[in-house]
């Protein structure tokens, strides 16, 4: 049975994350302590104790989620994925799992990416909103209408059938929210974010990230990586490098990625890291798939017992 390992992005964080892993698995503890040394500050304290306000800051959120996912992955030593994908930030975690990117470089890149995105959000304030119950074409159309009337707004995450996140200027997003409600969306909710991620308002983060990506060694991954920008698999390091940068300002085509993984043989999808967001998205996109989550020490133990039995 082909297994796709999935790695979550921003929004999956919670105070107390990774604590049970740290206490139960020496491999996870070593990973978390290594991240503290690389970063030069105790990220572990933010993971375990918050405060929530700090954990929600993009510059902390992104390395926190990355390190939690990598702590889980360290407990699965010897696991060879058939395919991987990561949602936004999670794409970096997926690349480490696929042995295309070193953990040390991953920690530094994710920390820098978070800082640059937070700065971009301060320079050009924006927001995001979830739109539930309209198809992709309807959301794209209302974004075009709202942008013409009020300000920049684009689809940012095509998460699952009937679930799209939009991103852009505050005025543009709020006008698009009004249009979505008027056109019958089941739920429209503004998100608590520090910027308009995956929209052109992140352009000020590109230069710094491009420089950092240019200095990093990327190897050919050991399995196909389904990239957010194209939703297609690749094992080409230079395509990966280019699309990691493009991903800052382009939409995350998550539903398409999951469909393509299923079409390519994935029957089992395993979310590696905090929360269960991706599990829900997979169930809505590929209802017949087997779906698992590996977040806590208890879940990791159960998985290891199952695969070793």
N-to-C CA span, the chain: 16
CA torsion 133-292-91-254 (nearest 10°) is -20
The question of whether 44 is a catalytic residue gets the answer: no
Q: Counting Cβ atoms within 10 Å, is residue 78 exposed (0-12), middle (13-18) or buried (19+)?
A: exposed
Catalytic residue, chosen from 44, 88, 167, 169, is 88
Strand pairing of 83-86 and 2-7? Answer: parallel
The residue annotated as part of the active site, out of 194, 198, 199, 260, is 198
Active site residue 88: yes
**Residues recognised as catalytic:** 88, 198
């Amino acid at each position: 049975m082909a297994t796709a390992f999935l790695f979550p992005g921003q929004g999956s964080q919670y105070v107390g994350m990774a604590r049970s892993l740290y206490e139960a698995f020496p491999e996870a503890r070593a990973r978390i302590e290594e991240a503290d040394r690389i970063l030069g500050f105790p990220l572990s304290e933010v993971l375990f104790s918050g405060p929530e306000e700090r954990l929600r800051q993009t510059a902390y959120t992104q390395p926190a989620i990355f390190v939690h996912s990598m702590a889980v992955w360290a407990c699965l030593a010897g696991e060879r994925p058939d395919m991987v994908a990561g949602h936004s930030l999670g794409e970096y975690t997926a690349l480490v799992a696929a042995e295309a990117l070193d953990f040390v470089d991953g920690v530094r890149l994710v920390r820098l990416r978070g800082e640059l995105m937070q700065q971009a959000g301060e320079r050009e304030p924006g927001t995001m909103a979830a739109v539930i119950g309209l198809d992709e074409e309807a959301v794209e159309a209302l974004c075009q209408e709202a942008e013409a009337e009020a300000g920049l707004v684009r689809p940012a995450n095509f998460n699952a059938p009937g679930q799209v996140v939009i991103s852009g200027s505050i005025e543009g997003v709020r006008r698009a929210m009004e249009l979505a409600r008027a056109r019958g969306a089941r739920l429209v909710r503004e998100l608590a974010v520090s910027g308009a991620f995956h929209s052109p308002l992140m352009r000020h983060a590109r230069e710094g990230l491009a420089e950092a990506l240019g200095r990093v060694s990327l190897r050919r991954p050991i399995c196909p990586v389904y990239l957010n920008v194209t939703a297609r698999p690749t094992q080409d390091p230079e395509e990966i490098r280019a699309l990691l940068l493009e991903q800052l300002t382009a939409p995350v085509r998550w539903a398409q990625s999951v469909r393509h993984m299923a079409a390519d043989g994935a029957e089992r999808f395993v979310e590696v890291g905090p929360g269960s967001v991706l599990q829900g998205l997979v169930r809505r996109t590929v209802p017949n798939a087997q779906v698992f989550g590996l977040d806590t020490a208890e879940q990791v133990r159960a998985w290891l017992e199952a695969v070793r039995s």
